[in-house]
Amino acid sequence: MPLVKTRPRPASRIGLAYTFLGIEGLTVLECGSMGHTLYLYKEAYLKEIEIKCHFYSTHLSEGDLVMGMDQRLIKGLRELEAKEASASVVALMPSSLGEMTGFDLKGLAQSGIERQFKLVSFEKGGFDYSFEDGLEEGLYSLCRTLVKRSEQAAKKDAKVIVNVLGGRHFDNTLDLKVLSSELYRKYDCHINTFLPLSSSVSAIERLTEADLNIVISRDAIKTAEYLKHEYQMSYIVDETFGGKNESK
């Protein structure tokens, strides 16, 4: 029965958005209603999640739904180039309206039009995908597009450098200080970045400088597998952090 009497579980679009929230230097362009973008701000505010990326929306009209959203999006990207000179990576976030009209974000991202920024497209923005699917795709696609093979950085000491992957839960905001101290106590390691909890575009590009990935939630396993396969980075899964009682 689709009558929901409390609050529906969020779907993949919100999972995608949650992935982007903590990534500094990322610009997100939502291809849909500006009302959704504003709600995203409102929810992040209510949950005390810091928004490090920049969210924009194309909005849309009846005409766009009939004639296609290509022109609207292309104009939006043009304006973005003018307004955000520092933008280097733009995530094209889909919505269910775009999915209904069959708008091809991937095609646009790969169209080869020369821009000052890199475009990353995502597909799981509409129906039938869960919040966790959105988190998984968000992390995976960003890493696939941005991670660079880098020279191993000179180590300050013998400690292991790790990337912490995952941890963006829906109903539990992890406290990074607590998480850091627990990881330090348990693994005696330096932390390169928390992705996606608190990271940046440049930190994602330098992900391979670390020795190991620690996966703290299942949605990051696909990304860890990718990094292992492409860059020979080992990973361990440790889901003991951020139990429900540990919410901020």
Residues at the contact surface with another protein, assessed by CB under 8 A: 1-11, 13-14, 29, 33-39, 41-43, 46, 54-65, 72, 75-76, 78-80, 83, 95-97, 100, 126-128
- Give the nearest distance from C-beta 221 to another protein in angstroms: 24
- Give the nearest distance from C-beta 150 to another protein in angstroms: 33
Q: Is 50 helix (H, G, I), strand (E, B) or coil?
A: coil
Residues 6+ apart with CB under 8 A from 237: 215, 221, 224
The angle formed by the CA atoms of residues 39, 122 and 142, to the nearest 5 degrees, is 100
- Residue at token pair 């990353």: 120
- Give the nearest distance from C-beta 229 to another protein in angstroms: 31
- Give the nearest distance from C-beta 133 to another protein in angstroms: 12
Residue with smaller CB distance to another protein, 78 or 228: 78
Residue with smaller CB distance to another protein, 79 or 175: 79
Burial of 27 from C-beta contacts in 10 A (0-12 / 13-18 / 19+): buried
Residue with smaller CB distance to another protein, 40 or 143: 40
The encoded tokens of residue 4 equal 């929901």
* C-alpha 210, offset from chain centre: 20
- Give the nearest distance from C-beta 27 to another protein in angstroms: 10
Residue with smaller CB distance to another protein, 124 or 206: 124
Residue with smaller CB distance to another protein, 39 or 184: 39
Which residue, 131, 146, 96, 126, is CA-closest to 219? 131
**Pairwise CA distance, residues 39 & 45, whole Å:** 10
